[in-house]
């Protein structure tokens, strides 16, 4: 059971108050938000893990959910160094000028819809950059057959249909870690 501060939990005759629980007039209430845990006769509220906040300079991993002419929208799934999952997916923006230091023919030669990218947050409005070597696409699927692309030097190649694609590839591509 999930409770909020002030929620009624039971009576002192039933339980011994533990962490996150306070007593008032023989009644027990939650003092913090969380999950109710009863062990022996002790009742406590285990606080819910805090949602990590994303700040400038953080490294995040996310999925490209939309691409336009000059920017892509990215759903952030994780923040590096923090195992806590985000409760909802924060939306971040990747502008074409923050994809590569070199010339980029078009946005699709940098990232594409549904790619997984490793990116650095460059401001507090969740704008991203993947210019650094460690940043960029870490997983991508073939645009033709959907198979997972494999890295071949500076290109990505489909092991199934042989299709070759271009991306701004991260050093972490295909390594299964980030």
Instruction: List residues binding Zn ion (CB under 5 A).
Output: 142, 144-145, 147, 158, 160-161, 163
Categorise residue 171: left if φ over 0, alpha if ψ from -120 to 50, beta otherwise. Answer: alpha
Q: Is the Cβ of residue 131 or residue 151 nearer to Zn ion in the bound state?
A: 151
| SS3 state at 135 | coil
Q: How far is the CB of 58 from Zn ion (least distance, A)?
A: 33
Q: Is the Cβ of residue 1 or residue 145 nearer to Zn ion in the bound state?
A: 145
Q: Is the Cβ of residue 30 or residue 111 nearer to Zn ion in the bound state?
A: 111
Q: How far is the CB of 75 from Zn ion (least distance, A)?
A: 24
Q: How far is the CB of 135 from Zn ion (least distance, A)?
A: 25
Give me the long-range contacts of 103-109 (CB less than 8 A, separation at least 24). 104/168, 107/67, 107/68, 107/69, 107/70, 107/71, 107/72, 108/67, 109/166, 109/167
Q: How far is the CB of 151 from Zn ion (least distance, A)?
A: 14
């Amino acid at each position: 059971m999930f409770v909020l501060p002030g929620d009624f939990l039971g009576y002192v005759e039933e339980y011994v108050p533990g962490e996150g629980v306070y007593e008032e007039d023989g009644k027990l209430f939650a003092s913090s938000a969380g999950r109710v845990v009863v062990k022996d006769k002790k009742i406590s509220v285990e606080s819910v893990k805090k949602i990590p906040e994303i700040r400038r300079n953080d490294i995040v991993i996310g999925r490209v959910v939309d691409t336009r002419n000059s920017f892509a929208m990215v759903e952030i799934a994780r923040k590096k160094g923090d195992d806590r999952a985000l409760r909802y997916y924060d939306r971040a923006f990747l502008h074409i000028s923050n994809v590569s230091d070199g010339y980029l023919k078009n946005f699709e030669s940098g990232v594409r819809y549904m790619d997984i990218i490793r990116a650095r947050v460059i401001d507090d409005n969740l704008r991203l950059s993947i210019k650094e070597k460690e940043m960029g696409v870490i997983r991508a699927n073939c645009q033709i057959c959907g198979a997972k692309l494999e890295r071949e030097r500076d290109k990505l190649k489909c092991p199934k249909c042989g299709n070759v694609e271009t991306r701004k590839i991260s050093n972490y591509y295909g390594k299964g870690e980030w």
